[in-house]
Amino acid sequence: MSSRAAWRLESLGFTKVYRYTAGKVDWLANGLPSEGAKAGELKVGKLVRKDVPTCHMGEKIGEVARRVSSADWDVCPVVNAERIVLGMLWPDDLNSDPESTAEQRMQPGPQTIRPDTTPHDAQQYFRKREYVLVTTSDGELIGVLRHADVEEQEDK
Partner 1 sequence: MPSSIERDQVLKLVEGGAQIVEVLPSEEYNEEHLRGAINIPLRVLTRETTSRLDPAEPVVTYCYDYQ
- In degrees and rounded to multiples of 5, residue 60 shows phi and psi of -75, 140
- Site mask, partner 1, residues 86-105, x = CB under 8 A? --------------------
Cα-trace Rg, the chain: 18
Footprint of partner 1 on residues 8-47 (CB under 8 A)? 8-10, 12-28, 30, 32-39, 41
The residues near 134 (Cβ < 8 Å, ≥ 6 apart) are: 44, 45, 48, 112, 113, 114, 115, 141, 142, 143, 144, 145
Query: With binding defined as CB under 8 A, does residue 81 bind partner 1?
Result: no
138 contacts partner 1 (rule: CB under 8 A): yes
Among 31, 44, 137, 141, binds partner 1 (CB under 8 A): 137
Q: Tell me if 71 contacts partner 1 by CB under 8 A.
A: no
When the beta carbons of 39 and 81 are compared against partner 1, the nearer one is 39
Task: Tell me which residues touch partner 1 (CB under 8 A).
Answer: 1-10, 12-28, 30, 32-39, 41, 136-138, 140
